[in-house]
Amino acid sequence: MEFSIKNSNPEKQPSDCVIVGVYESSVLSTAARAIDDASAGYISNILKRGDMDGKLDSSLMLHNVPGTASERVLLVGLGKEADFTDKQYAKAVRASVKALASGGASNVSSFLADLSVCSLSTRRKVALLAEVMLDASYKFDAIKKKSDDIKKEAKKGLATISINVAEAADMQTAQLGLADGQALAKGVSLAKDLGNLPPNVCTPTYLAEQALAMGATYGFAVEVLERDALEKLGMGSFLGVTQGSEEPPKFIIMQHLKGQKDQKPVVLVGKGITFDTGGISLKPGSEMDEMKYDMCGAASVLGTFKTIAEMDLALNVVALIPTCENMPDGRATRPGDVLTSMSGLTIEVLNTDAEGRLILCDALTYAERFEPSAVVDIATLTGACVIALGHHASGLFSNNDDLAKELLQAGEASLDRAWHMPMWDDYQPLLDSNFADMANIGGRAGGSITAACFLSRFAKKYEWAHLDVAGTAWKSGKEKGGTGRPVPLLTEFLVARANKS
């Protein structure tokens, strides 16, 4: 898909399809009005007949509209003009891609970025348009046999898209927006791909190879620690999770150091369980395949690194990815086993299915050596978070309210929202153990909170936040697939930090 920036008249634009917006109550956008004027009221007539009501998520394809240079005109519903915010805008852009998916138009010209969206700059509008169009046209057929049907489908999609802006003077800032959107889409797409790959392909070794390849492409440092190095570091908690698996564990370290030399880095930590069977505390069989997505925290960190590398973001950012499988086996950790973490704190494993926190806690201890300005971990950590928040918001926990606010705001701005959950000390005693410094579970009640409380014990030396993305990182059912979340939130957070520094 190739994008370009234009400033032209919709009726004079020769293309397969011109995309224009229509609000509810037959209010035409500027571009729709231009086509209406050129076609002697063609669009107004259609609206009068009631064939298009301008509701959000609706669209109508018109062919051979008189007085226009384009083969087709796609009317996209925008909803009520007064309610037209960034969220509605993104929905309308998505609807335009959906409407084009089944048709023959491949070279299109969108006038949606030309709309005024409350408080959005041209740069942001163009970025969002590119991001959403790329997100909505994402396909995962890398591992399907290349049948003629698939080849035909692949050829069909959108090829070129010109994004029109209202003023010629806006074209330069629109170019910047296009670059932002494309960089973000690359990271989101990578995160989706890694999540969607089957667990026999996307192993810890595979993730490490991807990180190394990315470092070589973009020129940032990548180091992969093997089992013996983890033993030397004393990562007994992480090693306890991996010991039932034939796949070797990896600890991936990536360093994007494009900020000032003395600037303390932001450290991102991603949970990289490439398959979570639950271990000896085996999960039930239904939908267990979805536990291939248990590395989506890691995938989002890799995706974000791709994006900030594309942007050449002026900030110091370090990524830590502990990655392994959680398998049952003769050597696997048993419920009742006590593990000694890198911090020295001992952990009674009461449930081997609460393994994410066990690999993350050692990574959080490792993070101390970078003297971070903030540490954010991202993990598909608990089913309880899905029960609490559903699939719309990621759970946000933090030991610092300012950091929490920053992340919440980044989520709002990027339409990749999080919700601040409590992490009061009252919950900490639920992790008490008779035999070790703590247990690895706190019971069913408040399960996402006690998981965060567990992590907080290893994050006392710095400002830290935890994103539980169990409900947001992938979709189940008919649309099963990775979402690429929270790459948009993380990117926004880092960009805002870079702009401040």
Residues marked active site are found at: 283, 357
CA distances from residue 30 to 42, 59, 114, 166 in whole angstroms, order as listed:
15, 17, 8, 9
Name residues contacting Zn ion, limited to 6-65 (CB under 5 A): none
Pull the structure tokens for residue 349.
């494993």
Does residue 353 belong to the site contacting Mn ion (CB under 5 A)? yes
**Strand-pair category, 250-257 with 221-225:** antiparallel
- Ramachandran bin of 120, using left for φ above 0, alpha for ψ from -120 to 50, beta for the remaining angles: beta
Does residue 468 belong to the site contacting Mn ion (CB under 5 A)? no
Q: What is the DSSP letter of 190?
A: H
**DSSP codes joined into one string, 67-79:** T-SSSEEEEEE--
User: Cβ closer to Mn ion: 54 or 447?
Assistant: 447
Does residue 259 belong to the site contacting Zn ion (CB under 5 A)? no
Does residue 16 belong to the site contacting ligand BES (CB under 6 A)? no
By CB under 5 A, which span of 90-98, 199-207, 275-283, 297-305 interacts with Zn ion?
275-283
Using the rule CB under 6 A, which residue among 121, 137, 351, 400 binds ligand BES? Answer: 351
Give the Cα separation of 62 and 49 in Å (integer). 14
* 479 phi and psi angles, rounded to 5 deg: -95, 25
By CB under 6 A, which span of 56-64, 138-146, 173-181, 348-356 interacts with ligand BES?
348-356
Using the rule CB under 6 A, which residue among 127, 165, 339, 470 binds ligand BES? Answer: 470
**What's the full length of the chain, in residues?**
501
**DSSP codes joined into one string, 148-183:** HHHHHHHHHS--EEEEE-S-GGGHHHHHHHHHHHHH
Does residue 92 belong to the site contacting ligand BES (CB under 6 A)? no
User: Cβ closer to ligand BES: 349 or 459?
Assistant: 349
Pull the structure tokens for residue 195.
């999540």
Does residue 431 belong to the site contacting ligand BES (CB under 6 A)? no
Within 197-321, residue ranges assigned H as helices are 204-218, 227-233, 236-242, 296-311
**449 sits in which H/E element:** helix 447-456
Taking the complex as a whole, how short is the minimal distance between the CB of residue 381 and Mn ion, in angstroms? 9
Does residue 276 belong to the site contacting Zn ion (CB under 5 A)? yes
By CB under 6 A, which span of 216-224, 341-349, 354-362, 455-463 interacts with ligand BES?
354-362
By CB under 5 A, which span of 133-141, 149-157, 349-357, 360-368 interacts with Mn ion?
349-357
User: Cβ closer to Mn ion: 117 or 363?
Assistant: 363
CA distances from residue 94 to 136, 173, 175 in whole angstroms, order as listed:
6, 23, 21
Name residues contacting Zn ion, limited to 354-393 (CB under 5 A): 356
Q: Tokens 């010209």 identify what position?
A: 109
Residues that contact Mn ion, how many (by CB under 5 A): 3
Give the Cα separation of 338 and 335 in Å (integer). 9
Does residue 276 belong to the site contacting Mn ion (CB under 5 A)? yes
User: Cβ closer to Zn ion: 256 or 271?
Assistant: 271
Give the Cα separation of 156 and 203 in Å (integer). 33
Does residue 294 belong to the site contacting ligand BES (CB under 6 A)? yes
Report whether the peptide linkage leading into residue 486 is cis, meaning its omega lies within 30 degrees of zero.
yes
Cβ atoms within 10 A of the Cβ of 139, count?
Answer: 12
Taking the complex as a whole, how short is the minimal distance between the CB of residue 404 and ligand BES, in angstroms? 22
User: Cβ closer to ligand BES: 384 or 498?
Assistant: 384
Select the binding partner of residue 406 from Mn ion, Zn ion, ligand BES, none (C-beta < 5 to 8 A, by kind). none
Taking the complex as a whole, how short is the minimal distance between the CB of residue 368 and Zn ion, in angstroms? 24
Name residues contacting Zn ion, limited to 285-304 (CB under 5 A): 294
Tell me the torsion sign for CA atoms 491, 496, 499, 501: negative
Does residue 353 belong to the site contacting ligand BES (CB under 6 A)? yes
Taking the complex as a whole, how short is the minimal distance between the CB of residue 443 and ligand BES, in angstroms? 8
What are the residues whose beta carbons fall under 8 Å from the beta carbon of 459, sequence distance 6 or more? 364, 375, 399
Does residue 36 belong to the site contacting Mn ion (CB under 5 A)? no
User: Cβ closer to ligand BES: 56 or 273?
Assistant: 273
What does the binding site for ligand BES look like in residue numbers (CB under 6 A)?
Answer: 276, 294, 351, 353-356, 380-384, 386, 441, 447, 470
Contacts with Mn ion, residue ranges (CB under 5 A):
276, 353, 355
